[in-house]
């Protein structure tokens, strides 16, 4: 039985998702709707990140993953990529102390080697500063793509076979699991996507196998901790059977 289901049986309270992952979408449309630059839309989007973190803490969620920059986002115009990297830099410099005070442990998943060196250093620093926190683990997906994650896992497994430390017959789901960026992180129970789009967009493809989905019409900069709570309430109405029958 899953941790969240076991806990709710014991307490009689509705299950709280252990891990919520969010595809933060709609910054550009919010900017157009409000007659401001895309850059401003992304800045407002960064403010909404705080709402999501508070929503997770309010609801007793243990893991929150935010899709902040995909492998494909590198194909956006250079000015926009620069803006997004600037926001990330600012976030990592200014928010880490607050996150730490709130008991948040930060971890980055994705191809961090493709980020500029100063950002890689800021990430390392943030991960070290927050490593002992236990209230919420915040995974930020940066330069992340699920296909790339799975291909990287295949490469790592093939290397172990080639060097003779792993037999082909011993490769299992667990072997793959342990080779992913999210090794040791429970799979997301709930994936939220804002802006009304209904796609996974190369996000946590392996890990999403039994996730519940919540597609919200709200544009990401308008997302609030209440939006988070509403999605959790909706999650609590779902009947999760993992392919089995009672």
If DSSP codes are grouped into helix, strand and coil, which group holds residue 19?
A: strand
Q: Which helix (H) or strand (E) holds 144?
A: strand 136-144
DSSP states of 59-90 = TT-SEEEEEEEEGGGGGS-HHHHHHHHHHHHH
- Residue 192: CB minimum distance to ligand FPP, A: 13
d(CA 176, CA 186): 14
**Cα–chain-centroid distance for residue 198?**
17
User: Quick check: 44 binds ligand FPP (CB under 6 A)?
Assistant: no
Task: Report how far residue 184's alpha carbon sits from residue 229's, in angstroms, rounded to the nearest whole number.
Answer: 26
Q: Is 228 in the site for ligand FPP (CB under 6 A)?
A: no
Which residues, 55 to 74, sit near ligand FPP by CB under 6 A?
Answer: 66, 68, 73
Burial status of residue 104 (CB atoms within 10 A of its CB: 0-12, 13-18, 19 or more): buried
25: annotated active-site residue = yes
Q: Shortest distance, CB of residue 68 to ligand FPP, whole angstroms?
A: 4
Hey, what are 122's tokens? 């800021």
* H helix runs in 105-224, sequence order: 117-130, 146-162, 173-179
Q: Helix (H, G, I), strand (E, B), or coil: what is residue 174?
A: helix
Quick check: 26 binds ligand FPP (CB under 6 A)?
A: yes
Pick one of 20, 21, 46, 185: the residue that binds ligand FPP (CB under 6 A): 46
Which residues, in sequence order, are CB contacts of 128 under 8 Å at separation 6+? Answer: none
Q: Is 126 in the site for ligand FPP (CB under 6 A)?
A: no
Q: Does 109 bind ligand FPP (CB under 6 A)?
A: no
Residue 24 engages ligand FPP in binding (rule: CB under 6 A): yes
CB of 67 to ligand FPP, least distance (A): 7
What sign does the CA torsion over 93, 94, 97, 102 have? negative
- Is residue 118 flagged as an active site residue? no
Q: Considering the rule CB under 6 A, would residue 42 count as an interface residue with ligand FPP?
A: yes
Q: For residue 134, give both structure tokens.
A: 């236990």
Query: Binding to ligand FPP by residue 203, rule CB under 6 A?
Result: no
Is 19 near ligand FPP (CB under 6 A)?
A: no
User: Which member of 22, 87, 108, 115 binds ligand FPP (CB under 6 A)?
Assistant: 87
21 binds ligand FPP (CB under 6 A): no
Interface of this chain with ligand FPP, residues 140 to 199, rule: CB under 6 A: 140, 195
One of 15, 28, 110, 145 touching ligand FPP (CB under 6 A): 28
**Where does this chain bind ligand FPP (CB under 6 A)?**
24-29, 42, 45-46, 49, 66, 68, 73, 84, 87-88, 91, 140, 195, 220
**Residues with a known catalytic role:** 25, 73
């Amino acid at each position: 039985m899953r941790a969240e289901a076991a806990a709710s049986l014991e307490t009689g309270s509705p299950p709280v998702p252990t891990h919520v992952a969010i595809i933060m979408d709609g910054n550009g449309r919010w900017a157009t709707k409000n007659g401001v630059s895309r850059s401003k839309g992304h800045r407002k989007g960064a403010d909404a990140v705080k709402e999501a973190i508070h929503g997770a803490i309010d609801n007793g969620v243990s893991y929150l993953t935010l899709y902040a920059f995909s492998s494909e986002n590198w194909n956006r115009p250079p000015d926009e990529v620069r803006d997004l990297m600037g926001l990330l830099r600012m976030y990592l410099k200014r928010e880490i102390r607050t996150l730490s005070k709130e008991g948040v442990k930060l971890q980055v998943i994705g191809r961090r080697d493709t980020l500029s060196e100063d950002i890689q250093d800021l990430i390392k620093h943030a991960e070290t500063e927050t490593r002992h926190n236990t209230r919420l683990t915040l995974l930020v997906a940066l330069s992340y793509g699920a296909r790339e994650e799975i291909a990287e896992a295949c490469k790592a497994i093939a290397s172990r076979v080639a060097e003779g430390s792993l037999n082909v017959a011993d490769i299992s789901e667990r072997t793959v699991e342990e080779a992913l960026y999210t090794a040791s992180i429970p799979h997301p129970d709930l994936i939220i996507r804002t802006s009304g789009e209904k796609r996974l967009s190369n996000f946590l493809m392996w890990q999403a196998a039994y996730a519940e989905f919540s597609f919200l019409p709200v544009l990401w900069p308008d997302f609030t901790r209440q939006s988070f709570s509403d999605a959790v309430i909706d999650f609590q109405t779902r009947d999760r059977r993992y392919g089995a029958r009672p």
